[in-house]
Amino acid sequence: MTKPKILQEEREYTFRSYFEMTYPPEEILGELGYKLIRSRLSLPKTQKTLDRLLDLQERIERTLTRVSLTSETARRETLVAPVLLEVAIYYCDCQLRIEYPLVVSKWLKGNLDYLLRAEHNLLVVEAKNDDLTRGFTQLATELIALSQIEEQQFQYGAVTIGDVWRFGMLNVKAQQITEDITIYSLPDDLEALVRVLVGIIEDNSVK
């Protein structure tokens, strides 16, 4: 007996739709033509001096003791945005797009929470209130959409619930998405996280 399709031809799906699905991520992404694997990624890491990191860490620690992170908005405004603004303004001098609209097809459309864009490299960040696993499925669909309009062979993204981050990489040629098994937690892993964020924007040619 043929297994019913998850995605229906007559329907339209936003990136958010994929977060709301309860099917296994491998099956959802498989219907979009991509294989999902989980392993430890060798991510780009900047070697530049992060001279503002201590101040950022102190602000994050104060935030975590004073703000109730009970909503996605709270996490985005108090934890995610400050980190990405620091990266964009002080370390990469790149553009940070917020709620960036993207329409590729009726199955791939919606808003990207954050898009860091330099001249040749970019990074998508999807912020959720909870559930990194389903959040990663949504992130993966956003990377698939970007791969259809951008020329890079490798697309990078991260999903975060504010104090926890996970990266992913899409390989266009191999039609494969890798979910990194490494977790970055704030505030303890802030330096490692920022080094990866900046490293990806500096040069996304590292596999």
pLDDT class of 187 with cuts at 50, 70, 90: very high
CATH classification number, 30-202, choose in 2.40.10, 3.90.1570, 2.40.70, 3.30.200 = 3.90.1570
How many whole angstroms separate alpha carbon 132 and alpha carbon 56?
24
Within its chain, how far is the Cα of 100 from the centroid? 13
Q: Decide if 207 contacts 44 (C-beta within 8 A).
A: no
Q: Decide if 75 contacts 129 (C-beta within 8 A).
A: yes
Model pTM score: 0.94
User: Where do the structural domains in the chain lie, given as residue ranges?
Assistant: 30-202
Q: Decide if 95 contacts 117 (C-beta within 8 A).
A: yes
How many whole angstroms separate alpha carbon 67 and alpha carbon 157?
26
| Res 1: pLDDT | 60
Helix (H, G, I), strand (E, B) or coil at 137: helix
| Span 89-102, pLDDT tens digits | 999 989 999 999 99
Mean residue pLDDT of the chain comes to 94
Q: CA angle at residue 128 from 100 to 171, to 5 degrees?
A: 65
| Span 126-160, pLDDT tens digits | 999 889 999 999 999 999 999 999 988 999 999 99
| Span 99-112, pLDDT tens digits | 999 999 999 999 99
